[in-house]
A and B are shown apart, each in its own frame.
Chain A
Amino acid sequence: MKDLVKRYGLMLTSYMVVASLVWIVLLVILPYFMMVNYSFRPNLVAADIGGPLDHYTIDNYITLFQNQVHFHVFLNTIWGGALVTFICLCVCYPIAYHLAKVATPQRAAFLLLLLVIPFWINEILRTFAWFIILAYQGPLNAFLKFFHIIDKPIRYLSGNGAVMVGMVYAFILFMVFPIYNAMESLDKNQVEAARDLGAPTWRIHWRVVIPHAKPGIAVGCIMTFMLAVSSYAVPSILGSTNSRWFTEIIYQWFFEGQNWPQGSAYAFILLLLCIIFILVMMRVFKVGLTDIAK
């Protein structure tokens, strides 16, 4: 603090401190606090608020475990999120490696541009594009039929498949960039040294590249998982009745059920889930918070 005062003067320092405090309190702590507060109270009509019925309870949390359907959707969301993360990792690792260590700088820049361009388009539009591609009468089925790969159109949009595809596509960049970043700093000579000592490609990756890229992989997985489980647009557009997403239920509580406390409790459970996932990933990849922050 003293350093800051010395560097920027008292006025500027106090302004910066106050501004950041206001930002944190007003925009970060307060909303969360209100959400937590809501989640522990019953859903009451305006007249009863502050009355004898207004007491703290964990009923809203228990609801999830008592409601078979909701709990099933919750588990389905975790499973789906994990699957999206895994598929994303499988797709993005080779891309990131190619960009960081194989392609020439010009080529890498060009490929990165190709990767980024679709993301200049709104997420809803992109998802609708997939909706059109995967439709029963859509171009993908037409294409496959034309080349006699299938004889009957496939119903992609029932079940989880389309949601997976849409999400993997939507979150590719969030997986590619952290891994790419981590791999960039890998000395190419190490890859060559491993090869020179006789290592086949898989072992080079297992022993040299992956250990080096671990923090990037962890960050990519965390971001992808969090975005996947908290995604609303993709499952609501590409999902079907038997592939509902937990966010859709939260939405229902808030805006259809008008039950904010219940919705808050569910939202908070989702947040907890994400935190648990982060902790698990940190364990699995043996990386610390500082590694991730990098």
Chain B
Amino acid sequence: MARSPFGFPLQLSGCNSYQGADYRIAMSQDIQLDRVTMRFGDFVAVKDVSLTIHAGEFFSFLGPSGCGKTTILRMVSGFNEPSEGVIRIGGQDMAGIGPNKRPTALIFQNLALFPLMTVWENIAFGLEVRGVPKAKRRKRAEELLDLIALSGAAEKRVSELSGGQRQRVAIARALAVEPKVMLLDEPLSALDLKLRQHMRAELRAIQRRTGVTFIYITHDQGEALTMSDRVAVMSQGVIQQISKSAEIYNDPATPFVATFVGENNVFRGQVKAVDGDWATIETGHGQLRGRNRNGVKVGETALLFARPERLNLVNGDAGAEMNRLDLTLGHVDFEGSFANLFLRSGDSQAGEQAGRGVIMQMSNDGGLPRLVPGEKLPVGFAAEDAVILADGPLAAH
């Protein structure tokens, strides 16, 4: 049996014995949120969210703590009814259908395994509820234990397992009821970094193999970007952007997304000119040009974002298409394969208009010059590497 890098067999021979079923769970279904709003008293936790999650997709909600991620998950799983709007699973309106009747399985932030049951009883609980006879339950539990590479642990107590093993038992327990949708609420947040990275790969692999729709919640952008087919970035109950991982990073739709996901340099200024898909703004660093993503108009206040790794040192005459900043080196953080250069405006505090200095990332490819703090550095970036968005709230750092 081939072993995957994730520590469990990828070829599932012997597992198909269960009534010929394999792990691919039939007919996962679309989930649709239609103008969903959730209020707790006067407080709006989720505001007018509309989106469709496709069958078999790995979909993540990414956002800072308290932005309403768990609330969305609890509405999909049926523990909370939305104050307004409709949730549909497979086209069916879920209003009034309790969590025990929905084709969803929720993995809790703290896993919520049953400590007084053995591992296999935990996994088979959903089947027990459905009246599956004990022998069959046990067999199915063993198969799922196989899937999560914990074959010997059936009779153990949950407390005897390590964090990562518990994690996998929680997944097996949810998979046992053959849900159409798996809902995962920051399931990796309790694990240490190494294990977290390992489990990312495992979760992704389990999702691929079962074909179940995964809705994954996290405040860790690395997690969201590496695992997901698509990511929804949220802030204060509002969806900011729904895109593929790379688009979220390369083509942010709002200032919040631009600053919440990854590092970004921010320049605030007045829009001077708009030509086609491009715009030019007047900042403390002079005129800067970038892509006019959302169509800002002349005279508006706008923000220009440029990623630190897109900034370059320029010598003498850069191309006319380059934006050029004359900066002074503050200090250098050497990170090994690359270095972060922290830069200030040469003359005044103009560069810190948006409250942030300028960060530039240089790869350590031998060309990293001998940099002296206080040295004047001309820095440039291409207009296509900069995004201009209408002024709006940034992510808190």
Q: Which residues of A contact B (CB under 8 A)?
A: 187, 189-190, 192-200, 203, 207-208, 211-212
B173 touches A197 (CB 8 A): yes
| Residue of A with least CB distance to B176 | A197
* In contact, B77 and A196 (Cβ under 8 angstroms): yes
Which A residue sits closest to B185, measured CB to CB? A189
A-B contact count (CB 8 A): 58
State whether A187 touches B112 (Cβ < 8 A). Answer: yes
B100 in contact with A197 (CB, 8 Å): yes
Q: How far is the CB of A200 from chain B (nearest CB, A)?
A: 7
Q: Residue B3 at the A interface, CB < 8 A?
A: no
Q: Which residues of A contact B108 (CB under 8 A)?
A: 189, 192-193
Question: Which residues between 110 and 135 of chain B lie within 8 Å of chain A, taking CB atoms?
Answer: 110, 112-114, 116-117, 125-126, 128-130
Contacts of B100 in A (CB 8 A): 195-200
Contact of B105 with A197 in the complex, beta carbons under 8 Å: yes
Could you tell me the distance in whole angstroms from the C-beta of A191 to the nearest C-beta in chain B? 9
Q: Is the CB of B125 within 8 A of A187?
A: no
Q: Which of the residues A192, A198, A211 comes within 8 Å of B126, measured between beta carbons? A: A198
Partner of B114, one of A196, A198, A208: A208
Bound Cα distance A29, B113 (Å): 47
Q: Which residues of B contact A203 (CB under 8 A)?
A: 129
Structural contact, A193 and B112, CB atoms closer than 8 A: yes
The answer to the question of B295 belonging to the interface, with a C-beta cut-off of 8 Å to chain A, is no
Chain B residues with CB under 8 Å of A208's CB are: 114
CA separation between A207 and B127, bound complex, in Å?
Answer: 13
CA distance A104 to B114 in the complex (A): 24
For residue A211, which residues in chain B have a CB less than 8 angstroms away from its CB?
116
Tell me if A192 and B79 are in contact (CB < 8 A).
Answer: yes
Pick 20 A–B contacts, CB within 8 A, sort by A.
A187-B110, A189-B110, A192-B106, A193-B106, A193-B113, A193-B114, A194-B114, A195-B99, A195-B100, A196-B78, A197-B100, A197-B105, A197-B174, A198-B100, A198-B126, A198-B129, A199-B100, A199-B125, A199-B129, A207-B128
| Nearest residue, chain A, Cβ from B121 | A207
Size range of the chain B interface in the assembly? 20 to 34
- What CA separation (Å) do A211 and B78 show in the bound complex? 26
Interface check B104, CB cutoff 8 A: yes
B contact residues around A189 at 8 Å (CB): 108-110, 112
Residues of B within 8 A of A (CB): 77-79, 98-101, 104-106, 108-110, 112-114, 116-117, 125-126, 128-130, 173-174, 177
The interface residues of chain B lying within 8 Å CB-to-CB of A187 are 110, 112
Q: Which of A190, A197, A198, A211 counts the most B-chain CB atoms under 10 A from its CB?
A: A197
A197–B99 Cα distance when bound, in Å, is 8
When C-beta atoms are compared, the residue in chain A nearest to B77 turns out to be A196
Contact present for A197 and B125 (CB under 8 Å): yes
Scoring B78, B100, B116, B130 by chain A CB atoms within 10 A of each residue's CB, the highest score goes to: B100
Q: Is the CB of A192 within 8 A of B114?
A: no
> Closest residue of chain A to B101, judged by CB?
A198
Chain B residues with CB under 8 Å of A196's CB are 77-79, 99-100, 104-106
B59 to chain A, nearest CB (A): 19
Measured between alpha carbons, how far is A212 from B113 in the docked complex, in Å? 13
**What CA separation (Å) do A181 and B118 show in the bound complex?**
25
Task: Contacts A196-B77, A203-B129 given; indicate if A190 touches B105 (C-beta within 8 A).
Answer: no
Q: How far apart are B170's CB and chain A's nearest CB, in angstroms?
A: 9
Instruction: Note all chain A residues with C-beta closer than 8 A to B112.
Output: 187, 189-190, 192-193
Knowing A189-B110, A190-B112, A207-B125 are in contact, say whether A198-B130 is a contact too (CB < 8 A): yes
Distance of A197 Cα from B130 Cα, bound (Å): 9
List 9 tightest A-B contacts by C-beta distance, closest first: A189-B112, A197-B126, A193-B112, A198-B129, A211-B116, A198-B100, A199-B129, A189-B108, A196-B106
